């Protein structure tokens, strides 16, 4: 099994960290994964991407992800100027940080999922330098859709990345999103 995910977000939202945490969660279970950041002249607020690749066996591919199974969009405004579905496999899915009442990508041929990660993060006080940090909430939705890594493994990865209250709040964000993600 080879499963690939591409994350789209803005600088400062934790896109690269999200890919790394998902790989850590796979490693907790003895599975293989790699995170692939895509760096350019990023700055806070600029569109960025990162990818992650997973397998039950050792990975020999070490390139960017061009044909993901899942696309994760941390900021729905990116949909206005970027084709996030480029290369997405025909049977692929899209997870978007958006309120459930927001009609987004209605004409999409892909299975579209929504989770209001911004609301979850704001309610938990997950902010840095005035920016709401949605990456861990989005990962809860990813785990629910991906269904190959256990939520408990993601929580362990999150808590190993941040200790104390910050780790607890990020873990809570992932748990809430896991429960609240829904098909559009």
Domain that holds residue 90: 2-183
Q: Which helix (H) or strand (E) holds 35?
A: strand 32-38
Count of domains forming the chain:
1
pLDDT per position as a tens digit, 89-123: 999 999 999 987 666 565 568 899 999 999 999 99
State the virtual CA torsion across 82, 13, 22, 103 in degrees, nearest 10: -50
pLDDT per position as a tens digit, 28-49: 999 999 999 876 655 677 788 9
pLDDT at 127 > cutoff 80: yes
pLDDT at 63 > cutoff 80: yes
Band (18; pLDDT cuts 50, 70, 90): very high
Q: Can you give the CATH number for the domain in which 53 is found?
A: 3.40.920.10
């Amino acid at each position: 099994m080879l499963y690939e995910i591409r994350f789209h977000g803005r600088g400062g939202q934790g896109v690269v960290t999200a890919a790394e945490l998902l790989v850590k969660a796979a490693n907790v279970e003895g599975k293989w994964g790699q995170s692939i950041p895509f760096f350019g002249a990023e700055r806070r607020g600029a569109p960025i991407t990162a990818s992650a690749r997973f397998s039950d066996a050792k990975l020999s591919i070490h390139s960017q992800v061009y044909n993901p199974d899942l696309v994760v969009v941390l900021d729905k405004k990116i949909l206005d100027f970027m084709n996030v579905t480029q290369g997405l496999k025909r049977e692929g899915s899209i997870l978007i940080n958006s309120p459930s009442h927001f009609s987004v990508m209605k004409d999409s041929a892909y299975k579209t999922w929504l989770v209001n990660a911004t609301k979850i993060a704001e309610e938990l006080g997950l902010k840095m330098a005035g920016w709401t940090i949605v990456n861990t909430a989005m990962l809860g939705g990813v785990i629910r859709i991906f269904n190959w890594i256990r939520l408990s493994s993601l929580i362990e990865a999150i808590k190993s990345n941040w200790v104390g209250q910050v780790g607890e709040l990020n873990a809570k964000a992932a748990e809430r999103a896991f429960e609240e993600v829904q098909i559009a």
